[in-house]
Structure 1
Amino acid sequence: MTIASIRSLTDIDYLYYYPGKVDKNGVLTLDAKNATGWEGFQSISPSKVMISKFPIRGKNGSVHDNSYVQLLLDTQEIADSEVAQPLNQSQRYCTVFGIYYQSGIYALLGFTLKALVSDPYKQAFAPSITYMIQNGPSLITFKNRPEQYWHYFYDRDIEKTCDSYDPVDYLQFALQTSGIASSECFPNTEIPISTSRCINGDKVNVKLKGYTFGTFNNLSSTDVKELIIRFGAVQTGGVVLVGWKDTKWIAADRDWDENKYFGTELELDASAYGGRVVFYPSLANVAVIVGIVCGVVAALIIIILVIIYCYCTRCMVCYYIYIEYAVNVAIVAPASEKKVVTMTLNPSIRITLQVIFLKAGNKSIPSSYEVQPSQQLTQYPSSYAASADE
């Protein structure tokens, strides 16, 4: 969200989450160093990340727009989506799936996926909670247990069955580790024995791997819009918000009698909103990295223009200053009308320009000014990007 420079950061500027991945043996190890109570891992201080560090999706989205309607996420389209369809009797008998359905997590995952994938016509699906449970932890362990709460942070086995409540608190770690698959691949009627292949033998199509749940509190409607244009869907209360029209939210609400979701428009009010989103923590660094890269590219362009100008004008003062103070950039210029300019930024990065110059009278650069490559820059930026299609 937009953060004014005249105030300090507060809790509303952040998403809160618990980082952690399940290892290949099914063990999840949590750091209890900052635990403040006995309520299990929820008493461990969560990590936080600034909302404003996440890039806005698309080119034209703004919280100041009168409307923001995402592809296939208008009110009628919500009702037609895979995740909105009524539960069947077998799904209702799987208790642990029912918990995630009633909590709204099932809908949040499904509508977030629909918003983020590049082709929602083909790539969106209803998520398999049972796939996530099977890929969740089988054993919870803790490190750095605080002495005063030591006996509350004991190792615990997780029973992975439809009747077990053990997996309820740990779905976010399964999401970070293994992402989500479709309920067509793994029906939400039983916990699969293996998730290497779909139950029909097809290859598993995994989405949102590396993502997790982030919570927020006391946000204004404008702040919630900031979340929507960044993360696609926002769960608050019993609804999932996916856009807005004028003074109304575009929302997926639940029909409790038929156990299905439908699209509706809800009044946009001045309430303080709390809830959760699905997000990729590493994307918080992308905006900073892109800014650094753009700055370096701009600097390189300026340097190249200076080189061309100096050679074209035979500007001796400019040439001398550039040679003496060009911050580790070396130039090689053979004495001919076809000049080859080589810039060495790093042993693995060389930029070579071939410039054809017009005659400039009898002016020329004396051979005493020819310079051989010497110093080199030792650092250069790298970038990282992630997508919902992982």
Structure 2
Amino acid sequence: MEYANQVALNKLFLLIIFTLSFAHHNTQIKVRNDDDDDDDPKVVEIKYFSLQPDTKGVITVNFDDLEGDTQLLPIKSKSLSDFDSIFTDFSVKNNTFTTIPLENFQDLKTSIALTAKEQKCTAVTQFFDKFNYGLYGYTVLALEQLDLAPSITALIKNGLTKITYTDVPQSKTEYYKDILFNEGCNTTDNIKYLTYGIRKSGVVDTECFPNNKIPTVTKQCTTNT
């Protein structure tokens, strides 16, 4: 898919995401199984990784805290109704719902396609293709009124370096080995955990750390948010 078309899809997808993410805190969703006859709506839950890494970016997981044979990190959840509303002047009666101005939308830094150099960084390209690039950039604009192009390479640098497991039963040691994350453009395993980079240092503009290479060090910039 050409990047001009991908950017257009980013815009549409993110507007939908914003509608769901910043709706009124009493919003509920009906969750049904094929054999579920219950008409009561179920409360929306947000799932998240609960463990925090140490100062070196290492997360230590006790096997007993995992649920199921496919879970790599413990997951907790919170009800959407537990959060305060960010935007309170909207309701289901509104004809439209936008959290950022639509005027000159195509000129926003996040709306601009990746450069040829940025496209050579596989991790950045995959993150862009999965729409998360736009999600981060437009969210910063909505919450902080700051127009930036998110530095994915800085998030990789500030993210996880290793996941290690303890108290793993002998029968499971083959499946729960330490996971090492390389800080390179050609590795993509760590892009699933970039939220840890946000927790550590926030989202930074590419003017600070370009998306064509992983920075060797990251220092706070004036555009850091």
User: For the superposition of Structure 1 and Structure 2, which TM-score range results when normalised by the shorter chain?
Assistant: 0.7 to 0.9
SS at match of 1:185: coil
The C-alpha deviation readout for 1:301-340, integer Å capped at 9, x for no partner, is xxxxxxxxxxxxxxxxxxxxxxxxxxxxxxxxxxxxxxxx
Per the alignment, residue 373 of structure 1 pairs with none
Per the alignment, residue 17 of structure 1 pairs with 48
- Cα distance in 2 between the residues matched to 1:34 and 1:166: 20
Structure 1 gaps of 5+ residues are 198-202, 208-390
- Cα distance in 2 between the residues matched to 1:175 and 1:147: 35
Kindly state the Cα deviation for residue 88 of structure 1 after the two structures are TM-superposed: 0.9
Kindly state the Cα deviation for residue 58 of structure 1 after the two structures are TM-superposed: 3.3
CA RMSD across the alignment = 2.5
Residue 172 of structure 2 corresponds to residue 145 of structure 1:
no
- Cα distance in 2 between the residues matched to 1:163 and 1:56: 39
SS at match of 1:68: coil
Per the alignment, residue 224 of structure 2 pairs with 206
Residue 137 of structure 2 corresponds to residue 110 of structure 1:
yes
Residue 125 of structure 2, aligned match among 75, 88, 98: 98
Moved over 6 A (4+): 6-9
Equivalenced residue count is: 191
Task: Return the TM-score normalized by structure 1.
Answer: 0.45
Per the alignment, residue 35 of structure 1 pairs with 67
2:122 alignment partner AA: T
Residue 110 of structure 2, aligned match among 68, 83, 88: 83
Per the alignment, residue 7 of structure 2 pairs with none
Per the alignment, residue 70 of structure 1 pairs with 99
Task: Return the TM-score normalized by structure 2.
Answer: 0.74
The C-alpha deviation readout for 1:335-356, integer Å capped at 9, x for no partner, is xxxxxxxxxxxxxxxxxxxxxx
Kindly state the Cα deviation for residue 115 of structure 1 after the two structures are TM-superposed: 0.8
Identify which of structures 1 and 2 has the higher relative contact order when contacts are C-alpha pairs closer than 8 Å and 6+ apart.
2
Residue 84 of structure 2 corresponds to residue 46 of structure 1:
no
Kindly state the Cα deviation for residue 193 of structure 1 after the two structures are TM-superposed: 0.1
Q: What does 1:114-193 correspond to in 2, within 5 Å?
A: 114-117=141-144, 120=145, 123-145=146-168, 148-193=171-216
- Cα distance in 2 between the residues matched to 1:82 and 1:21: 31
- Cα distance in 2 between the residues matched to 1:25 and 1:83: 30
Kindly state the Cα deviation for residue 40 of structure 1 after the two structures are TM-superposed: 5.5
CA contact (8 A) 1:20 1:173 kept: no
Per the alignment, residue 275 of structure 1 pairs with none
Q: What does 1:262-341 correspond to in 2, within 5 Å?
A: none
Tell which structure's C-alpha radius of gyration is larger. 1
Kindly state the Cα deviation for residue 155 of structure 1 after the two structures are TM-superposed: 1.5
CA contact (8 A) 1:181 1:204 kept: no
By percentage of residues, which structure has more strand?
A: 1
Structure 2 gaps of 5+ residues are 1-25, 30-37
SS at match of 1:30: strand
**Identity among equivalent pairs (%):** 25
Residue 218 of structure 2 corresponds to residue 195 of structure 1:
yes
CA contact (8 A) 1:21 1:174 kept: no
SS at match of 1:86: coil
